[in-house]
Structure 1
Amino acid sequence: MSHSRLWSLLLFLDIILLQLAFFGVYWWRFQSGQFVNPVSFQPGELLIPSLIVCGYWVLLLAWFGLYRFDPLQSRAVAAARSFRAAAVGALILFILTFNPQRPLPSSRIILAAYGMAIFLIVSGNRVGLLTILREFRIRGIGAFRTLLVGRGSRADTLLKYLEVHPGLGLHIAGFVGSPSSAAPSQPVRYLGNYSLLRKLLRHGAYQAVLLAPDDEDERQLGRIVRLLQDLRVRAFISADQYRLLIGQVKPTRIPGHPLVDVRPELLSLTERALKRLTDIVISASMLLITLPLWILLAILIPLDSPGSIFYSQRRVGRNGRTFRLYKFRSMIRNAEKHTGPVLTQQNDPRITPIGQVIRRTRLDELPQLINVLSGRMSMVGPRPERVEFVKRFVREIPLYERRLNVKPGITGWSQVHLRYDSRADQIAVKLQHDFFYIENMSLPLDLRILFMTLFVVLRGEGL
Structure 2
Amino acid sequence: MSRRVELSALLLVDALGLGTAWVAFRAACERWDWMAVEPMGVSALAKGSLLALGWITLLAFAGLYADRYARGRFDELVTLLKVVTFGSLVLFFGYYLDRLSPGSARQAVALYGASVLGFVAVGRMVVRGVQKALILRGHGRHRAVVVGWSDRVETLYHDLARYPAAGIELVGAVRLTHDPTPVGVLAMSGASGAGLPPEAGVRVLPSGDALPAGALEVTAAGAPSHAIAELPGLIDRLGVQDVLIALGSEDVDTLDQVLRVCDGRSVSLKLVPDFYAAVGGMARTEHIYGLPLIEVFPEPIPAWEKRTKRIADIVVSALVLLLGAPLWLGLAALVSLTSPGGAIYRQKRVGQGGRTFTIHKYRTMVDGAERETGPVWAASGDSRITPLGRWMRKTRLDEVPQFWDVLRGEMSLVGPRPERPFFVDRLADEIPLYSRRHRVQPGITGLAQVKHGYDTDIEDVRQKLKYDLFYIENLSLQMDAKILLQTIKTTVLGKGQ
Answer yes or no: is 1:247 the counterpart of 2:258: no
- Aligned with residue 245 of structure 2, among 238, 251, 261: 238
Correspondence for 1:168? 166
Aligned CA distance change for structure 1 residues 112 and 432 (closer, same or farther; 3 Å): farther
Instruction: Give yes or no for contact 2:189–2:214 (8 Å, CA) kept in 1.
Output: no
Whole-angstrom CA distance in 1 between matches of 2:122 and 2:217? 30
- Aligned with residue 341 of structure 1, among 374, 377, 384: 377
Instruction: Give yes or no for contact 2:177–2:219 (8 Å, CA) kept in 1.
Output: no
Instruction: Give yes or no for contact 1:397–1:428 (8 Å, CA) kept in 2.
Output: no
Correspondence for 2:16? 16
Question: Which structure 1 segments of 5+ residues have no match?
Answer: 183-189, 200-204, 267-271
Whole-angstrom CA distance in 1 between matches of 2:7 and 2:329? 48
Instruction: Report the 3-state secondary structure (helix = DSSP H, G, I; strand = E; otherwise coil) of the residue aligned with 2:160.
Output: helix
Answer yes or no: is 1:222 the counterpart of 2:232: yes
Aligned CA distance change for structure 1 residues 208 and 430 (closer, same or farther; 3 Å): farther
Instruction: Give yes or no for contact 1:21–1:118 (8 Å, CA) kept in 2.
Output: yes
Q: For 1:436-455, what aligned pairs fall within 5 Å after superposition?
A: 453-454=483-484
Q: For 1:301-380, what aligned pairs fall within 5 Å after superposition?
A: 314=347, 316-318=349-351, 321=356, 323=358, 325-326=360-361, 341-342=377-378, 358=395, 365-373=399-407, 377-379=411-413
Cα displacement (A) at 1:21: 1.8
Cα displacement (A) at 1:47: 1.9
Instruction: Report the 3-state secondary structure (helix = DSSP H, G, I; strand = E; otherwise coil) of the residue aligned with 2:264.
Output: coil
Cα displacement (A) at 1:429: 1.7
Whole-angstrom CA distance in 2 between matches of 1:79 and 1:235? 25
Whole-angstrom CA distance in 2 between matches of 1:386 and 1:448? 29
Cα displacement (A) at 1:57: 3.2
Correspondence for 1:61? 59
Instruction: Report the 3-state secondary structure (helix = DSSP H, G, I; strand = E; otherwise coil) of the residue aligned with 2:286.
Output: coil
Correspondence for 1:44? 41
Instruction: Give yes or no for contact 1:382–1:408 (8 Å, CA) kept in 2.
Output: yes
TM-score, normalised to structure 1, is: 0.60
Whole-angstrom CA distance in 2 between matches of 1:136 and 1:295? 54
Whole-angstrom CA distance in 2 between matches of 1:163 and 1:416? 49
Map Cα deviations across residues 108-158 of structure 1 (whole Å, 9 max, x no partner). 865787566545554555467657866997xx6568597765782221221
Per mean C-alpha deviation after superposition, the further-off stretch among 48-57 and 312-321 is: 312-321
Q: For 1:32-181, what aligned pairs fall within 5 Å after superposition?
A: 32-35=32-35, 37=36, 40-45=37-42, 46-62=44-60, 64-79=62-77, 81-82=79-80, 86=84, 114=112, 117-119=115-117, 121-122=119-120, 125-126=123-124, 130=128, 144=141, 152-162=150-160, 165=163, 167-170=165-168
Cα displacement (A) at 1:408: 3.3
Whole-angstrom CA distance in 2 between matches of 1:198 and 1:164? 32
Instruction: Give yes or no for contact 1:149–1:211 (8 Å, CA) kept in 2.
Output: no
Map Cα deviations across residues 43-71 of structure 1 (whole Å, 9 max, x no partner). 23422322233234335534554234545
Whole-angstrom CA distance in 1 between matches of 2:6 and 2:89? 29
Correspondence for 2:182? none
Cα displacement (A) at 1:73: 1.0
Q: Aligned partner of 1:243: which letter?
A: L
Instruction: Give yes or no for contact 1:177–1:194 (8 Å, CA) kept in 2.
Output: no
Whole-angstrom CA distance in 1 between matches of 2:120 and 2:219? 36
Map Cα deviations across residues 80-126 of structure 1 (whole Å, 9 max, x no partner). 5435655776688689x669987899898657875665455545554
Aligned CA distance change for structure 1 residues 367 and 8 (closer, same or farther; 3 Å): closer
Whole-angstrom CA distance in 2 between matches of 1:293 and 1:426? 35
Map Cα deviations across residues 409-458 of structure 1 (whole Å, 9 max, x no partner). 3256x569966555334233245357659xx9xxxx7x777656555557
Whole-angstrom CA distance in 2 between matches of 1:114 and 1:142? 39
Instruction: Give yes or no for contact 1:382–1:407 (8 Å, CA) kept in 2.
Output: yes
Aligned CA distance change for structure 1 residues 165 and 324 (closer, same or farther; 3 Å): closer
- Aligned with residue 400 of structure 1, among 413, 416, 434: 434
Aligned CA distance change for structure 1 residues 356 and 417 (closer, same or farther; 3 Å): closer
Aligned CA distance change for structure 1 residues 141 and 131 (closer, same or farther; 3 Å): same
Q: Across the two proteins, how many residue pairs are aligned to each other?
A: 411
Q: Aligned partner of 1:16: which letter?
A: L
- Aligned with residue 469 of structure 2, among 432, 437, 450: 432
Whole-angstrom CA distance in 1 between matches of 2:213 and 2:53? 35
Whole-angstrom CA distance in 1 between matches of 2:450 and 2:115? 38
TM-score, normalised to structure 2, is: 0.57
Instruction: Give yes or no for contact 1:90–1:111 (8 Å, CA) kept in 2.
Output: yes
Instruction: Give yes or no for contact 1:21–1:114 (8 Å, CA) kept in 2.
Output: yes
Q: Aligned partner of 1:372: which letter?
A: V
Cα displacement (A) at 1:226: 2.4
Per mean C-alpha deviation after superposition, the further-off stretch among 154-163 and 398-407 is: 398-407
Whole-angstrom CA distance in 2 between matches of 1:142 and 1:420? 51
Whole-angstrom CA distance in 2 between matches of 1:104 and 1:34? 5
Instruction: Give yes or no for contact 1:74–1:255 (8 Å, CA) kept in 2.
Output: no
